[in-house]
Structure 1
Amino acid sequence: MKVQDFDFYLPEELIAQSPLSDRAGSRLMVVDTEANKIYDKQFADLYDSIKSGDTLVLNDTRVIPARLLGRSIDTGSKIEFLLLKPLEDDRWEILVKPGKKAKVGRVFEFGNGSLKAEIIDITPAGGRIVHFQYNGIFNEILDELGSMPLPPYITEQLEDKERYQTVYSKYRGSVAAPTAGLHFTKEMLDSLQDKGVNIAYVTLHVGLGTFRPVQVDDVEEHVMHSEYYEISKDTADIINRTKASGGRVISVGTTSTRVLETVGQFDGIVTETSGWTDIFIYPGYKFKVVDGLLTNFHLPKSTLIMLVSAFANQDLILKAYEHAVSERYRFFSFGDAMLLMKGAGKNGRNI
């Protein structure tokens, strides 16, 4: 299977540069994976596609302001850190640019010098291990000095940091948002619960893989970066009850999907657990837990469109993306949404 098989034409102007004023104001493409049909709707119409007894699974990770701009103490030259993973004793794994300035032993400072970092090692992937020095509480200093690490495809500045957080974000640790969840408002989640839809949460801290392009020709040769996840007993119980009663488990985003498929057994049962996952889902994968997938529109040749193509017929997904381009859907983090599910469009208009 070739990476080129997941390429499609995407005009640059369709990559959304900023969020809509109304979180729930986006469009929603509904793809009926059973009937192989596509429907154009609004995100508010999601209410009609999800039934009482179904379960929505959301990723409650919270993005940290992981982008730090600083300077070398020795030369004053500028440096940019992207925090990836906390280690022990105030050490972090980071990405850095320009990398040629970040040699082992170099020390950098941020803000007024309240935060300093020494490069102590170079990772096999070309990242760095740094040791931070500071007085006070690290998270408070990071909130003051850091900025949201928006993907490189987004060039506009984000005025409100909370628009790159879901309304249910809780546990700090991600360097990118689980963007399918950005569409939800608290009111919409409440209305779904009032309808009898279960709301359950998992945690996956989004890491390096989000920024890492596929650099091989054969899909099977790509290696995913591992990310930390947790699933609680309450969430596991809700999912297992949903399966037992004939309800559907609908994953909000590829990150929630990767957690559920990591922990799921072949009979669809999930259990309370935590750990690191590097699961790579592409066509040919057999889903064990997830019955429906709500996701945004992804970039060509990305691992994300590969996952979506695994969930539905690959030809259907490419047809849906071709339609999205022709109908001017908005792509990527701040873009529109897609719902993939059997029978999802029965009340909609076939196009």
Structure 2
Amino acid sequence: MNGPSITELTTRARDIFQRVVEEYLENGQPVGSKTLASDGTLNLSPASIRSVLAELEGQGFLAAPHTSAGRVPTDSGLRIFVDGMMRVAEPTREEQAQIESRIAESGPVEQALQQTSALLSELSGAAGMVMVPTREQRLSQFSLVSLGQGRALVVLVGEDGGVENRMLELDVTGSGSLEAASNYINARLGGRTLAEAALAMRTEIEAGESQLDAASRDLVERGLAVWSEDANKRSVLIVRGASKLIDEAAMDDIERVRSLLDDLEDKQSVATLLESAREAEATRIFIGSENRLFGLSGSSVIASPYRDMDGRVVGVLGVIGPTRLNYARVVPMVDLTARSLSKSLGGSLGKLIA
């Protein structure tokens, strides 16, 4: 189904439509003919403006809320404005310097990503989001520790000193099998990712080249499997500033805000939406009902990929807020933040990517 086209509009209608959208994005309120006529820039009477507003509504560019005589842009209207009429407000040199310095001073990768999400929230007045690169660091140590009562603790230590623990349910297994499995894995783990180590060990076991007994072989398989499966379920999304979505204007539509906050709780679905922006050459904008996840809450997402030192896309960052986001300001801010993060993290990102 095709939406309205900008070519359908006369010059007068374009001018009025643009004024309605800009006024709505600034104030978040329906825009009426008296407001548009009051400053004299259109040089039209309220009656003439009302006639054009009615035409724009009939063409699907605007809608009239039941509680007001004014008009608001539809999702299709906002798309037309963003794609063909918006005057982008590029960040000033001072703003650019602030973004670059804040990210550069963030420290370790994890801290930089947290800082970036908070920075996006500050810049946009909405919620900032950063999808973290899939981590598969080089490992240095693996341990299986018996906890008794049919349970063991799987402990993985990375080359960077990070420690991760996972619980493993056991059949009745002697401590000798736990020790044998740990020693076997450790001897083949150093400097490899979990996936690389697992492949090497499984190949060796299937070829009958290991000296493990059946119980120890089973522990090797299950120990690696439970850690891999759980690692894949880890949250890959950092969200900061969700409280900014509950402003004075939002309180007039509390159900929409509640729906949005519920959607944000489903981080995997949000990450999937951001994932769709990975291959974009430029910043992508998802407006309202254009995406199913946030369609009911009437929200927009502005997202841009960020890269490692080799130019590979390793993650996506962006903001989410009401459809009345200041697109002209936020779009270039998101783009600049993505480029600044890519530049700052550079080689550090290479250590995080599988």
Give me the TM-score of the superposition, normalised by structure 1: 0.29
> Which structure has the larger Rg?
2
Which TM-score applies when normalising by structure 2?
Answer: 0.29
Structure with larger RCO (C-alpha < 8 A, sep 6+): 1
